[in-house]
Structure 1
Amino acid sequence: MTSKQYNSVWFREQRKPASPGRNRAEIVAAAIQLLDDEGLAGLSMRKLGAKLSAGATSLYWYVANKDELLELVYDEIWGEMTAPDPEEVGWRDAASVMAHSMRQVILRHRWSADLLGRLPALGPNALMVADQTRKTFKLAGFTGADIDYANAALTAFVFGMTIPEVAWDTAMAGYDYDGDELRQTVAKAAADYPDLSEAIYTTNYEDPRAMRELCFDFGLVSVLDGLERRLAT
């Protein structure tokens, strides 16, 4: 069996700008703007070249292919995340701020949800966040592999809560949201389930964003409580 060599934009030296006024940071910024406007399906080297008033071919001086471009934009948004120093704010606050920040970045760049687990996080921004998070759980008292397990538990919670939220926001984009109408629709579908029907009229359908924020915070506190209890035992 032959092994396949893994190629990444982070494994080769960055080329110098081919022309004055053009650089990789400018290309990445334009790509992120295009992704925010049109999503992953709307990103192409041709469109990006047009946005930058440059030929698509010229962009290949800076990135070998579209996958390399995605690696760059993926790492760029990791740089938007806040990862406080746990020695300054305490491990729980550091983990909480990081989790909320990660959620907000994914919601701000909804296309990033499709890259989670698909692209390796090997860029400097992603590695900085990973290192700071490991430092957080090490300071909490976790040792050995448990540091990584605690980190995985936290990030899995963030991804598990946020990716469905992205799917909802994407599906509802362009629709005139009506809380009463949604409540009636769900009530009709759940008519044969009394417990669900009861919950429909106690759930805040008027402000789903506030409801999801509260739900996320409840779950996050529960995860951190569980990790803290594990340390105590």
Structure 2
Amino acid sequence: MPRDTLTREQIVRTAVELLDTEGLEGLNMRALGKRLNSAATAVYWHVKNKDDLLTLAGDQVWDEVRLPDLDAVDWRAAATAMAGDLYGMFTRHPWLVQAFATHLFHGVGKARHDDHTLAVYESAGFTGPQADRAAASVFTYVLGNAAPAAATASLTRRIEREGGDPEEVFGAVMKEAVEAASRFPRLKARVDPGAAIPSPSAPPARSDYADAPQDTFAFGLQALLDGLAAQISGAPAAA
């Protein structure tokens, strides 16, 4: 694609596709130019450098997080919906989770999300720095929950680039993890279905060690929102 027919929107959209497929490690101007059917140098007419491109790509995906109408739903429903959408966005674009460790993301898309998030917690009764802290608490919870999926995606690509079999590697690692876990009573009860559970209140035995229950994200989010609700004067935590 000739330089004068490229647009920044095309470049950023293609960069997101490249990042989704190849991860942070696969983002470079040559690979991007190939996808655009253009010389790599043509991209520099529209973006400053690789970091600038990553910032633009990162900002674009924030538009995937829907902004609930605060006149139609209460603050808790809005907070739950936005956190769920944010988690979904992070797991669709795991490179963004990794990039938070090395880049400061900004732009209209993220600003729109952040502004609406503050509106959610202000509608709950938080003011000033309290709203900032509430929003930040939920954001870091979501980001932390998305981190394992991002790490797995990155490791899978690395193993494949090195010619290995991800399933075989993960299987070997899991075997070692299970062997180590079996030395401790509570973990042993989860990796060995026949082992005695040390306490009547302990959860049922599971053989899928290191796999969190499917409702872990929702459970933790509601517990966090319970805590935030308790911080609002006169507002009891949800049952």
TM class, shorter-length: 0.7 to 0.9
By how many angstroms is 1:180 displaced? 9.9
Q: Name the structure 1 match of 2:206.
A: 203
Q: Name the structure 1 match of 2:111.
A: 127
By how many angstroms is 1:117 displaced? 4.9
Q: Name the structure 2 match of 1:65.
A: 49
Instruction: Give the match's secondary structure for 2:224.
Output: helix
Whether 1:194 and 2:172 are equivalent positions in the alignment is no
Q: Distance in 1 between matches of 2:151 and 2:171?
A: 21
CA contact (8 A) 1:31 1:43 kept: yes
Q: Name the structure 1 match of 2:220.
A: 219
> What TM-score do the two structures reach when normalised by structure 2?
0.79
Q: Distance in 2 between matches of 1:204 and 1:152?
A: 35
Q: Name the structure 2 match of 1:89.
A: 73
Q: Name the structure 2 match of 1:105.
A: 89
Residues 37-78 of structure 1 deviation map (CA, whole Å, 9 limit, x = unaligned) = 111111111111121111111111100111110111000111
CA RMSD of aligned residues (A): 2.7
By how many angstroms is 1:186 displaced? 4.1
Q: 1:41 to 1:184 in 2, by over 3 A?
A: closer
Is there any run of 5+ residues in structure 2 with no aligned partner, and where?
A: 158-164, 194-204, 235-239
By how many angstroms is 1:162 displaced? 1.2
Is there any run of 5+ residues in structure 1 with no aligned partner, and where?
A: 1-16
CA contact (8 A) 2:190 2:209 kept: no
CA contact (8 A) 1:85 1:132 kept: no
CA contact (8 A) 1:183 1:205 kept: no
Range moving further from structure 2, 183-192 or 53-62:
183-192
Q: Name the structure 2 match of 1:158.
A: 142
CA contact (8 A) 2:23 2:154 kept: no
By how many angstroms is 1:169 displaced? 4.3
Q: Distance in 1 between matches of 2:65 and 2:84?
A: 9
Q: Distance in 2 between matches of 1:70 and 1:182?
A: 32
Instruction: Give the match's secondary structure for 1:143.
Output: coil
Q: Name the structure 2 match of 1:19.
A: 4
CA contact (8 A) 1:30 1:52 kept: yes
Q: Distance in 1 between matches of 2:172 and 2:104?
A: 42
By how many angstroms is 1:83 displaced? 2.5
Q: Distance in 1 between matches of 2:190 and 2:65?
A: 35
How many residues of Structure 1 are paired with residues of Structure 2 in the alignment?
Answer: 214
